[in-house]
Amino acid sequence: MVTETLGEVVPGLIESDLTEQIIGSAVAIHQHLGPGLLESAYQACMCHELASRRIPFRSQMDLPVRYKGLQLDCGYRLDFVVDQRVVVELKSVERLTAVHEAQLMTYLRLSGIRVGLLINFNVPVLRRGILRRVL
């Protein structure tokens, strides 16, 4: 696993162009609505924002577990898969914990997607609520 910090687009970061567009969408939502809403409200706004920017995505995508040649529905659901290249997990919690990060890493491992964003909208400054992880 590689941990990458946020900031300006850095040449060589995997999917940096796309993650910056996703982060820009989240920042626009946070600037307009601020913290304190339910995750479902941010989810709906993110769908609208990504669509308005013509960024391809799938929302609430089922994620099966593959085990010994079987595909099992274990109830995993990804908040967003953006352009089939980035998993985005939204939160609206007091603070992100190791469990939230483990959830994102599990989703990356099971989906085969290398890059993930964990975005917590319940912070005063959104950039402090974003984790970017790469497998």
Residue 80 in tokens: 């967003």
What lies within 8 Å, CB to CB, of 62 at 6+ separation is 73, 76, 77
In the chain, where are the structural domains located? 2-134
Is the pTM above the cut of 0.75? yes
Phi first, then psi: give them for residue 54, nearest 5 degrees: 60, 40
Residue 14 in tokens: 């995997």
Q: Which residues pair with 35 in a beta bridge?
A: none
User: What does the pLDDT profile of the chain (135 residues) look like in tens digits?
Assistant: 444 444 444 556 889 999 999 999 999 999 999 999 999 999 999 999 999 999 999 999 999 888 888 888 888 899 999 999 999 999 999 999 999 999 999 999 999 999 999 999 999 999 999 999 999
